[in-house]
Chains A and B, each alone.
Chain A
Amino acid sequence: MTEYFDPKTQGGATSKSRRNFLKTVGASGVAAASTPLWAQATQARAAETPEGDPAKASAPAPGMSRIQLNVNGVERTVDVAPQMVLLDVVRNELGLTGTKKGCDQGQCGACTVLVNGQAINSCLSLAISRQTDEITTIEGLERGGELHPVQQAFWEHDAFQCGYCTSGQIMSAVAVLNDDRIGQSDAAVREAMSGNICRCGAYKNILAAVQDARKAMKGGG
């Protein structure tokens, strides 16, 4: 029984790449900030636990279908029932718990993921219908061990408090910044991001982070 939040018993294997990525972050614009070691281990788990790949030998349980989902660039095999929504599948079957459930009804945006680059509410999307799509969750944004510019900007601008809506905010922000049709004004960003409720009310900093990330993404590609 775990008594303390001990990475050795809670976190599973620690990832070297994640550590590097965190070091990179620590060495950049937010030099002084760091993540405690215990936290790094927890973080590593989310992306790397090979859950959700059922043993190929056994047939799917009755009522279940074995499907392939392309999540964060990786083909994952998973058994799903028709009524399972993408949100519950990535969280419960694939172990990608960064995507959050805030309402389960399309009313808050915490579950936002990208499907073929477009932001969608994963709580209202049947997983079984997503077999030919490219799905990106918050865990899939980092590149080469570095935070995505939007993640980085959220950190620098303190664009979150409790962090629960944050994955959804970031996914929506990435989609907004990649969509030339959405205006660049503050008002346009606010409107485009209005499907992501932040009850902590960190909107001012979210807006600043999105506009700052726009510059970074233009600069760095």
Chain B
Amino acid sequence: MQSFELIRPESVKDAIGAQSERSAFIGGGTTLVDLMKLGVMQPDHVVDTNRLGLDEIEALDDGRLKIGARVSNSRLAIDARVERDYPVLSQALLSGASTGLRNMATTAGNVMQRTRCPYFRDPAKPCNKREPGTGCSAMDGINRNHAVLGTSEHCIATHPSDMCVAMAAIGATVVVEGRKGTREIPFEDFHLLPGDHPEREHDLRSDELITHVVLDAPLEGAVSTYLKLRDRASYEFALASCAAIVTLEGTKVTAARIALGGVATKPWRAVDAEAALVGEEATAKMFEQVALLAFQRAMPLEHNAFKVELGQQAIARALRDAVQQASQGEHQ
């Protein structure tokens, strides 16, 4: 880890003022300190957000939930309103990392979490995300953990977050503040596909700071599940995960939100699958059918082809488990 200057502003305005091309914000540190140790990120200035407040969870009048940037993953997971209205988010958070890391990690930090691609994390290896134009080592290397959806010829790195998968399903707005004022970015637009510029990971300008994430109002009567599939039972990133939220009328699906993790370059909404499911009978067979749609455009590589089937299984089972709750009267 290279030396840097730590700036500890007391207000959001000062924090934004302290930000520059060669600086980085720090929240819990679980991403930044790690990547600084590896030499992947080498900011000259680190702007500490820990004196900025931004640690409230607030119910808005329109039914939405406003989460401060610095609310820890642990606290968010056990917030009574989250547990009641967004259990899928609570489950996703608790499936991520470990108790210790969740106690440190913040909401904004999790949104800004960077890929776990080992080639990205080693400055000695070519990586278009870390050093544009150097090539992608994973494409012809080991790509078991890599994405099959949303990839480009320049990058196949997955977005590692569980929290963001749940937020993508729920629907949310990322509130950012910069020198030119406040902006609200729809969650699905916040993370960018790698395309020709895998180094651009999000729609956040260099002077902007995430201050809040606002969750859409919960769907009335919805049932939901977060299902995470991985090698070991805990403390591992997803190979495939699915956040499923559905509403039902009798045995028919009236609304569906399906988001995927571990298989895509950003938190991934399976919109085709969602559209195909609405209006249909909630049966296991139907879930398997729509799951296929989610991976129609998958681009598997040498080691990650299994993620297509695993991802489909995640969708079908998450939908089934969610719907079972409805039949058991556990409206959530």
Residues of A at under 8 Å CB distance from B? 63, 81-83, 85, 104-106, 109, 112, 115, 118-121, 123-126, 128-129, 172, 175-176, 181, 190-197
Total A-B residue pairs with C-beta atoms closer than 8 Å?
85
Tell me the bound Cα distance from A176 to B48 in angstroms: 28
21 A–B contacts from the bound complex (CB under 8 Å): A81-B3, A82-B5, A105-B37, A106-B101, A109-B98, A115-B103, A118-B103, A124-B104, A125-B29, A126-B26, A128-B6, A129-B26, A129-B48, A129-B50, A172-B100, A194-B233, A194-B234, A194-B235, A195-B235, A196-B98, A197-B235
Question: What B residues does A112 contact at CB under 8 A?
Answer: 100
B-side binding surface: helix, strand, loop or mixed? mixed
Q: If A194-B234, A194-B235 touch, does A119 touch B99 (CB 8 Å cutoff)?
A: yes
CB-CB < 8 A to B4: which residues of A? 82-83
- Across the interface, do A125 and B48 meet the contact criterion of CB distance under 8 Å? no
User: Counting CB contacts under 8 A, is B36 at the interface?
Assistant: yes
Chain A positions within 8 Å of B247 at CB level: none
Q: Chain B residues with Cβ under 8 A from A119's Cβ? A: 99-100, 103
Inter-subunit contact B2/A83 (CB<8 Å): yes
Please encode chain B, from 1 to 42, with 1 for each CB lying within 8 Å of some chain A CB and 0 for all others.
111111010000000000000000010111001101110000
Q: Cα distance A181–B101 when bound, in Å?
A: 17
Please provide the chain B residues from 50 to 85 with a CB less than 8 Å away from any CB of chain A in the complex: 50, 74, 78
Does residue B46 face the partner (Cβ distance < 8 Å to A)?
Answer: yes
Q: Across the interface, which residues of B come within 8 angstroms of A197, CB to CB?
A: 235
Q: Is the CB of B98 within 8 A of A85?
A: no
Known: A191-B234, A195-B97, A195-B235. A126 touches B103 (CB 8 A): no
User: Which of B's residues lie within 8 Å of A, judged by CB?
Assistant: 1-6, 8, 26, 28-30, 33-34, 36-38, 46, 48, 50, 74, 78, 97-101, 103-104, 233-235
Partner of B98, one of A104, A181, A195: A195
Pick from B29, B36, B99, B234: contact of A175, CB below 8 A.
B99
Q: With the chains together, A82 CA to B5 CA distance in Å? A: 7
**Which residues on B sit within 8 Å (CB–CB) of A124?**
28-30, 33-34, 101, 104
* Chain B residue, CB-CB nearest to A171: B100
Q: Which of B1, B74, B98 contacts A83 (CB 8 A)?
A: B1
Whether A172 contacts B6 in the complex (CB less than 8 A), given A105-B37, A125-B33, comes out as no
If the complex has contacts A128-B6, A129-B50, are A106 and B99 also in contact, measured as CB distance less than 8 A?
no
Q: Which residues of the partner chain A approach B101 to less than 8 Å between Cβ atoms?
A: 106, 121, 124, 195
Nearest residue, chain B, Cβ from A112: B100
| A193 to B98 alpha-carbon distance, docked (Å) | 8
> How far apart are the CA atoms of A172 and B8 in the complex, in Å?
29
Chain A's closest residue to B33 (CB) is A124
Contacts of B6 in A (CB 8 A): 82, 126, 128-129
Is there an interface contact between B46 and A82, defined as CB atoms closer than 8 Å? yes
Q: How far is the CA of A129 from the CA of B49 in the complex (A)?
A: 10
Give the residues in chain B near A105, CB-CB below 8 Å: 34, 37-38
CA distance A104 to B36 in the complex (A): 12
Query: A83–B6 Cα gap in the complex (Å)?
Result: 9
Q: With CB as the reference atom, state the residue of chain B lying closest to A131.
A: B8
- Give the distance in Å from the alpha carbon of A119 to the alpha carbon of B26 in the complex: 19
Smallest beta-carbon distance B25→chain A, Å? 13
A-B complex: 5 closest residue pairs judged by Cβ atoms:
A195-B98, A194-B234, A82-B6, A124-B33, A118-B103
B3 touches A63 (CB 8 A): yes
| Least CB distance, A161 to chain B, in whole angstroms | 20
Pair B1/A181 contact, Cβ less than 8 Å? no
Q: Is the CB of A120 within 8 A of B104?
A: yes
Contacts of A83 in B (CB 8 A): 1-4, 36
Known: A83-B4, A125-B33, A129-B6. 19 other contacts (CB 8 A): A63-B3, A81-B3, A82-B5, A83-B36, A104-B37, A106-B30, A106-B34, A106-B101, A109-B100, A118-B103, A121-B30, A124-B34, A124-B101, A125-B29, A126-B6, A172-B99, A176-B99, A191-B234, A194-B98
